[in-house]
Structure formats: C-alpha cells, structure tokens
Amino acid sequence: MTQIALVIVDVPTMQTNTPYSYLIPTTLQHQLQPGMRITVPFGRGDRRVQGFVWAIQEATADTQLDDLKTIDSVMDLTPVINAELMSLADWLAQTTYAFTITCLQTMLPNVLKAKYEKWVTPLPTLSTEKRQAVFGNQTRLLWDDHLSTEQLHDLLQLSRQHDIEISYAVKNQARVKTVTMVQANETPEALATAKAGLRKTATKQASLLDYLISHDAPIKQRDLEQQLNVSASILKTAEQNGWVKRTAQEVYRDPFQSAVIKTKPLTLNADQERAVSAITSATNQQDAKTFLLEGVTGSGKTEVYLQAIANTLEHGKNALMLVPEISLTPQIVGRVRGRFGKQVAVLHSGLSVGERFDEWRRINRGEARVVVGARSAVFAPLNNLGVIIVDEEHEASYKQDDNPRYHARDVAIWRSHYHSCPVVLGSATPSLESRARAQKQVYQLLNLPHRVNHQQLPDVSIIDMTEELRHHKESNFSSELLSAITTRLNRGEQSLLMLNRRGYSSFVMCRDCGFVVPCPNCDISLTLHMDTKTMKCHYCGHEEPIPRVCPNCRGHHIRYYGTGTQKVEAELHELLPDARIIRMDVDTTRRKGAHERLLKQFGDHQADILLGTQMIAKGLDFPDVTLVGVLNADTSLGLPDFRASERTFQLLTQVSGRAGRADKPGQVFIQTYNPDHYAIQLAKRQDYEQFFVKEMRLRHRGNYPPYFYAVKLTASDLDERKAATAMISIVRQLKATLSANVIILGPTPGAVARINNRYYYQLVIKYKHEPALNQALFTILGQAQKQSRGGLQIAIDRNPMSFM
Ligand SMILES: Nc1ncnc2c1ncn2[C@@H]1O[C@H](COP(=O)(O)OP(=O)(O)OP(=O)(O)O)[C@@H](O)[C@H]1O
Ligand SMILES: [Zn+2]
Ligand SMILES: [Zn+2]
C-alpha cells in the first residue's frame, strides 16, 4: 500500500492555501508523521520549497501516482506541530485571512525557522552496534541535504525509539559573560618561603601571600582586591611570580535564575474563594467556560490564578498563563515560579534564541507543566490543559499587528474548547468587548470588588495644568505634586511618576520658521533621541544627526520640544537634588535583564522615585509606594480613535492602582489639561462600572464596537494613485456584495499616509451580521495577489485595535 502525503507548502499565495499531494519515497514509507517539515519540488521549475506534512493517506486504486511529485527530504525527526496546533492553524487562517503556512510558521520557535546547523546526536539508549553503523567514529552527524533517504529512514526509526535526537547549533549571540577568579598556584609551604624572601617594604605582597597561604578556594579578583586593598598590578606580579593563577569563569546570566522566593498559598478572602471555586469546578468538570475576573487593582487576582493553577496540577493537568509583554512584568513571573518552581517554563522576547528553544523543548517533551508567556506563548505545545489564564486581558499587545493578525485572547478561548477547560480573563479594567459579553452572560463574571485586607483604593486628585501654568513658570511638576513627592522623601516612602508617551514624542523645531525635520521616507516628523544624539524615524528606522542650523531658513534657533523622560529626570534632579531617581524607558531597558534589575533596585529601596513611561503602569506591587503622579494624562486622549477614552481610563486606573497596596494608604495626582473629561473624572473615582455604562452609551450612539463588528482594510503601494484606486474599487465591490446595513468609512489616507515610501489608504467596514463578508474578503485577497507583482499590498485586520 503506497502512502502519499498532503503537504502545505511554504509559498504564501491563495492557491497554495490547501494541501498538495506528494508521493512519499519508498524508503520513507511509514516513517513520516503529520506535523513534520519536509522539502518538496514545487511549481514548473521544480524549485525546492519547505512544507509541512498535513496528513498522510493511503493511495487508492484511482490515485494517479505517476502524476505526483516525490518528497525530497525530511527536516525533522519528530513532528514540530501537533494535531491541535494544525487544526488551530486552519482556524486562524480562516478567521484572520492569513495563509495556513504563515499561521504554522508563527507557532514555531525562531530557531526552527532560521538556518542553523542541525546535528543528530546519539542518546545513551543507543546500542553500540547501531551507534557504530550510524555515526561511525563521529560523535554526531551533520543533518543536511546530503543524507540519503536510506539514512533518513534509519534516523527516523531511531528517533521513534528515542535513541537519537536533533540539536541546533545556536551560536549564543550575546557573548558569554565572565569574571576573573584568583587562586593560589603553589603549596602553602612554597608560598611561605616566598614571603620570607620579600623585602620589608613589600607589605601588600606579604598580605596577599598570607591570604593565599590560608585560602585555597578561588575568589573573584575584584573581591580580593577590595578585601586586601591591593591593586590589579600586585595580582599581575603575583601571577608572573607563579604564586597565583587567574582564570575566567563564566557567570550564569539567566535572568530568571535570580533567587525566586518560595511561596505558599495564601488564605483566600471570601471573594477570592468564590472565584477560585468557580474556576476549579469548571476545570474538574471539563467545562470550557470563559470567566471574566473583574477585580480592582490590588484585589488579589494573581492569587486566584495561582490557586486555580495549583488545582489543575493536582488533577494531573497543565496550565497556560498569558501576561502582556512579559519582560515588562518580571514580578508576576517571579510569583508563578515562586509557587511552582521548576515546573514553570517562561517564554518571552527577552530570551535568546537558544534559551527560548530550550524552554519550548521542555514544554514539547512534557517536562514543563505551567507555561507563562507573552502573546505568542498562546501557541505553546502544552497537552492536556486544565486552565488558561489571560492576565490584563484588555492589553492591546495581545493583538499581533502583522499576519496572522490574531488576538491571543481569541486563540486562548479556541484552545479552551479544544481541551474542554476554562479560560480566565482577568483585569481591573476589562476591555469593553469582554465586559459586554459578560453582561450578556456569554462569559461568566467573577468580581473582586475590594482590595485585600480591606485597604482603601488610593485617593486621587486631579490637577488642572492650565491653572498651574497661569500661576507658575513652565514646569512638568505642579506645586501639589512636588510637595507630595517631598513629603514622601521625608518619610522614606517611594513614589512612582509616569510620563504618558503614547502618540507623543520629542522633536526639534526651528524657532524662527517653525520647521520640523521630517523623515525623508515617511510623512512624519523625526523623533529626538538624546541618548544617541540623533533624530530617528519610528516607522522606517531612518536616522540622522540633530541639525545645528535650520535646513529651511539657515537660522540658528533650534529648539527641543516635547517632554522626554530624560528631560523630566533632569528637571527633577534640579528641583530635588537629594532624591535618588531610577528612570525606566526604552533607552534604559534596552539591554537584556535591565528591566528586572531596575525594578529590583527600586524594590530594594535603592531609589526614592521610579520615573517611567507606560511600562511602569501595570502589574507592579511595591508595598512602600504611597504616591503615584501622572505628569500628562492627556496625550492618549487626543488620539482620533474610538478607543482613546478607554485606553486613557485603563492607563490612569492601572497606574493609580500601584499606590498604597500594602498597609500604608496611597495618594495619586493626575496632571491634565482636560480635568472635566469623563475618562479622567471616572479614573479619579476608579469606577470601572460607571465608565463601562457611559462608554457603552457613546459606542452605541456612534455605531462602534462592541455594538458593531469591524474589519479594517489597508492598501499600500509605492504609487499613491494605485493604492487609492485599489481602495475605491474595493469599496465598489463591497457595496455590491454586502447588505445595505454595513457602514463603510473611507477610503482615507492612513494615519501616517506614507511609510518607507509606500502610500497607505484604508477603510473600515462596520457591520452586525454579514454572512457574505468572509467570502468577499477572500475574493479581494485573491485578486490582490494577482496584482501584487506590481507592488500593491492589501492587509485585512479583523477586530482592529484602532481605526487609525
Ligand atoms: N488572600 C490574601 N491574603 C493576604 N494577602 C493577599 C491575598 N491575596 C493577595 N494578597 C496580596 O495582595 C497584594 C495584591 O495582590 P495582587 O498583586 O495579586 O493583586 P492584583 O489584583 O493582581 O493587582 P493588579 O491588578 O493591581 O496588578 C499582593 O501583595 C498579594 O500577595
Ligand atoms: Zn528655520
Ligand atoms: Zn521613516
């Protein structure tokens, strides 16, 4: 019986979205499995492309075997995509208008996608004869195109018996970090003799020899220098004399290696108890329910997650927990590891390719039972899930803004149905969508209305900055906020200051003619970066020096505008010279582990003030922070987007929630130019429910989500006219196909009309029920594909995070 493989090839076009049939070579019959990657000849020129084995079938009497091309080679010893993820890829392709191949690739760790050397290595179980037959005298075998199908056959078989495995030669991109260690190189007797021969004045050398005589364990050179108060040159001479040897020792840089404190489950309060028992009973009854855990800041949501996970593990099942951009929330990772130790795997972008792959393999082998990770961790190949948690479910970073444009929350819910397990969406400020679904009882609402220990929510004051400006000179700090910070300094308490940078940036402008330096490739001005002393484009990466003379009028009055964190820090230093400040923004957290280090320093009271961008708004739990100041609440309000109020409310409520979380009460100051705006007023009261009611009314009136669904289409082309005409004809086509109830906004130029020399046009379709829409969009994509050689690109974004 001949086997044929159905293969999804790595050629992203509409035509290749369904599997192609390939003949499996005789020697590889019954060796391949779905989810393995292979290479196949494709197209008229038979060029070699990669593909995934989608399914394996027995040929029937009708199969025209002669018409089939044959699989070339195999890339994996074991499947890299399991059955669940294959059907998930199928669903994703359907719902995000992406290609199945793109979805499959998205689920793989990067190391499998890139061209690393692959080696086959024997495992201890491999018999000596087999070892000799396969590896000869080599310790490992390079896995490349030169392997014959016979060899592949043997290797696949050995792999199934767990006798061999594949490893990837990932060169650690970050250099190995080392410290210099010093150790005695001679016997104590010999050293004593050396000491006896020293001149009387050589006291430093004498004390070094004394140390070496009584210690033989290696010590860090730096520590030794400090301890004995000797210089590096003394040690160098000692080495030349043969008294010591110096070695470079690798230091472990795993950012999560840093001590996690083991924690025990806390005694739950009544609200937490209710939430945990609802979730655990869904786990135990295999009920694929979606819970919305709405709990005010500091209400102990994390403890609810941890106990729901503990229950899952007790029942022999595994757990997945998503957190927004995990490098931003090292605290929460620490808490999960503190409870579940080595069973936890962590996936996030801060890990090197190799580290990430190691974690992925631990999950794939079933060694890790709890996975914590950011957006793409939702594809972690965990089996037998008992609970899925999506923390801070309202976070925009859960949506991928490139193909496939998936929302991790939707994928989590899909997986919960696959595994018949509950999913918990948690937030102090749920997205309107999720809260509306809870209202309609599609999701089950669980409430934590109080802070733990009945601590009050912090007292929030709004400061009208127009008033401030009238009375004082221009400053980032109102007098109220400044005196509140001073009080904290005197009391030895800590403050958190947030600068809202969304949709806001620093730039330079000519004071004489008003000229602002634009990007040559995009229709946007360049952003000022003081750390590198350059101007950068945030869209295309263009970079140039800060001009000294105005390129427009040759004037010399260039002025720096905008409130960068660096500028605020400088002002703060001037106002409060004694305050110790930690600044946290993209510039200070670029290096690996920097984020966690800064937070740790702050937690250890090495600073009085943590000054940062949005990255300090979420998830932080420091007991001695009693003051939060928002320097500019308005910048995100001004954006022309239907979610602007929601985003602002969420941000202000979240950041306010960082104050007064332990026994000392908290205080918050919000500086704004729009003190009467409802998003700011309701954030002051931290009244999510009121905000929900008010905002829903406005969304209803404006026909916005969640009352309407939305799809955003974007066309881009090097030629502006082509992008615009494509959009106009798409609108015509949609109007002809869809019902009269749809609302089409646009086409309009994109929020940035030109990026990297491509022109963007967009339109937004709002609808309630349009059965014909899906097909219409696929048709549009198919047509666009045919024109894509000309450079036209169409992107479809379902449930877009913004209409901009
Ligand atoms: N049952 C409990 N008993 C005592 N302390 C608790 C209990 N539950 C949680 N805590 C503590 O209360 C603090 C706040 O809890 P946690 O950080 O989980 O709140 P949260 O709801 O996740 O907050 P946020 O949404 O603001 O990040 C933590 O320090 C936590 O250890
Ligand atoms: Zn000028
Ligand atoms: Zn640019």
Residue 531: its pLDDT value, please? Answer: 66
CATH T-level topology, domain 270-454: Rossmann fold (3.40.50)
DSSP track, 356-414: HHHHHHHHHTT---EEEESGGGGG----SEEEEEEETTT-GGGB-SSSS--BHHHHHHH
Q: Give residue 388 CA to ligand 1 midpoint distance, Å.
A: 19
Q: Give residue 723 CA to ligand 3 midpoint distance, Å.
A: 19
Nearest ligand to the CA of 524 is: 3
Residue 561: its pLDDT value, please? Answer: 67
Pairing outcome for strands 758-767 and 709-717: antiparallel
State in Å, rounded, how far the first CA of the chain is from the last one. 57
Summarised one tens digit per residue, pLDDT across range 42-73 is 888 888 888 999 999 988 878 787 888 999 88
Nearest ligand to the CA of 658 is: 1
Question: Which amino acids bring their CB within 6 angstroms of ligand 1?
Answer: 266-269, 272, 295, 297-303, 428, 452, 619, 621, 657, 661
CA nearest ligand 1 atom 9, residue: 300
Residue 510: its pLDDT value, please? Answer: 80
CB 2 within 8 A of CB 59: yes
DSSP lists the bridge partners of residue 518 as 525
Nearest ligand to the CA of 263 is: 1
DSSP track, 676-720: T-HHHHHHHHT-HHHHHHHHHHHHHHTT-TTTSEEEEEEEEESSH
Residue 313: its pLDDT value, please? Answer: 97
Strands (E), 113-192: 117-122, 141-142, 164-169, 178-184
CA nearest ligand 1 atom 24, residue: 297
Which residues does the annotation place in the binding site for Zn(2+)? 510, 513, 519, 522, 537, 540, 550, 553
Give the residue among 362, 391, 358, 386 at the shortest CA–CA distance from 374.
Answer: 391
Tokens of residue 438, six digits: 């809870």
- The class (CATH top level) of 709-798 is alpha beta
Q: What strand order describes the sheet that includes 73-74? A: 20-23, 3-9, 47-58, 37-42, 73-74
Residue 386: its pLDDT value, please? Answer: 97
Name the amino acid, one letter, at 344.
V
**What three-state secondary structure class fits 612?**
strand
Nearest ligand to the CA of 516 is: 2
Residues 6+ away with beta carbon under 8 Å from 759: 716, 717, 718, 719, 720, 723, 724, 749, 753
Mutate to test the pocket of ligand 1, among 302, 332, 446 (most ligand atoms within 8 A of CB): 302
How far is it between the farthest Cα atoms of the chain?
102
Mutate to test the pocket of ligand 1, among 452, 654, 658, 688 (most ligand atoms within 8 A of CB): 452
Where do the domains of the chain lie?
3-169, 178-250, 270-454, 473-504+563-693, 709-798
Q: Give residue 519 CA to ligand 3 midpoint distance, Å.
A: 5
Mutate to test the pocket of ligand 1, among 299, 306, 424 (most ligand atoms within 8 A of CB): 299
- The class (CATH top level) of 3-169 is alpha beta
| Closest-lying ligand 1 atom to the alpha carbon of residue 426 | 25
Give the residue among 793, 580, 578, 800 at the shortest CA–CA distance from 708.
Answer: 800
Residue 804: its pLDDT value, please? Answer: 72
Spatial distance between the Cα atoms of 524 and 459, rounded to a whole number of angstroms: 40
| Residue in the block written with tokens 């954030």 | 683
DSSP lists the bridge partners of residue 70 as 23
Which residues does the annotation place in the binding site? 510, 513, 519, 522, 537, 540, 550, 553
Give me the residues near ligand 3 (ion), CB cutoff below 5 Å: 519, 521-522, 537, 539-540, 542
Please tell me what DSSP assigns to residue 70.
B
Give the residue among 237, 229, 245 at the shortest CA–CA distance from 199.
Answer: 237
| Residue in the block written with tokens 């075997």 | 65
Q: Give residue 397 CA to ligand 3 midpoint distance, Å.
A: 23
CA nearest ligand 1 atom 14, residue: 298
Spatial distance between the Cα atoms of 656 and 646, rounded to a whole number of angstroms: 15
Give the residue among 562, 568, 502 at the shortest CA–CA distance from 526.
Answer: 562
Q: Give residue 419 CA to ligand 1 midpoint distance, Å.
A: 29
Low-confidence ranges of the chain (pLDDT < 50): 172-176, 252-253, 255-257, 502-504
> Residues 78-106, buried b or exposed e (16+ Cβ, 10 A)?
ebbbbebbbebbbebbebbbbbbbbbbbb
Q: Give residue 564 CA to ligand 2 midpoint distance, Å.
A: 23
Tokens of residue 271, six digits: 């609200």
Mutate to test the pocket of ligand 1, among 390, 447, 621 (most ligand atoms within 8 A of CB): 621
CB 536 within 8 A of CB 527: yes
Tokens of residue 679, six digits: 């998003």
| Closest-lying ligand 1 atom to the alpha carbon of residue 392 | 25
CATH of 473-504+563-693, one of 3.40.640.10, 3.20.20.70, 3.40.50.300, 3.40.190.10: 3.40.50.300
**Same fold? 270-454, 473-504+563-693:** yes
Residue 174: its pLDDT value, please? Answer: 39
